[in-house]
């Protein structure tokens, strides 16, 4: 799925629908389709709405699930850079920095 141009509402609708896996009913050989298991899916959302912090947070969480700590930190930092009022995201970034023993960086995030 590629996005060329999308409104914030459209991207939010897609993000909200991401938690709803498509499950065809009645077929024994049918598989659950979950678009949120694809990095390309998250990258497309970022391209569609590069100024929306939520898309970076969602991609950061994907990176964490896949043990890509550096990429997760970069995406959380981008989200916080776009909206400094995102206290939970700043706190999470501090936790990740602490986990990789960047204690000074963690304190900077926590002190905001």
Instruction: Supply the CATH number for residue 105's domain.
Output: 1.25.40.10
Beta bridge partners of 33: 22
Asked if residue 84 is part of any domain, the answer here is yes
Query: Which of 16 and 70 is assigned the larger pLDDT?
Result: 70
Query: Which of 28 and 67 is assigned the larger pLDDT?
Result: 67
Query: Which of 61 and 34 is assigned the larger pLDDT?
Result: 61
What confidence tier does 75 reach under pLDDT thresholds 50, 70, 90?
Answer: very high
**Number of domains composing the chain:** 1
Asked if residue 78 is part of any domain, the answer here is yes
pLDDT score, position 79: 97
Beta bridge partners of 22: 33
Q: In the structure encoding, which two tokens stand for residue 31, read together?
A: 């598989």
Asked if residue 23 is part of any domain, the answer here is yes
Asked if residue 2 is part of any domain, the answer here is no
For 14, 34, 56, 98, 106, the CA distances from 17, given in Å and listed in that order, are 5, 10, 17, 32, 33
pLDDT score, position 85: 92
pLDDT score, position 51: 97
Query: Can you tell me the distance from the alpha carbon of 79 to that of 23, in angstroms, rounded to the nearest whole number?
Result: 32
Q: Domain range holding 78? A: 8-111
Asked if residue 27 is part of any domain, the answer here is yes
What confidence tier does 38 reach under pLDDT thresholds 50, 70, 90?
Answer: confident
Q: In terms of pTM, does the model score above 0.75?
A: no
């Amino acid at each position: 799925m590629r996005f060329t141009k999308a409104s914030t509402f459209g991207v939010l609708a897609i993000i909200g629908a991401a938690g709803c896996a498509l499950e065809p009913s009645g077929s024994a050989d049918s598989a659950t389709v979950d678009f949120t298991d694809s990095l390309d899916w998250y990258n497309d959302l970022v391209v569609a709405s590069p100024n929306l912090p939520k898309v970076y947070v969602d991609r950061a969480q994907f990176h964490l699930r896949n043990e890509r700590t550096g990429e997760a930190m970069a995406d959380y930092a981008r989200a916080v850079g776009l909206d400094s009022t995102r206290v939970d995201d700043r706190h999470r970034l501090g936790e990740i920095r602490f986990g990789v023993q960047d204690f000074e960086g963690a304190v900077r995030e926590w002190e905001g």
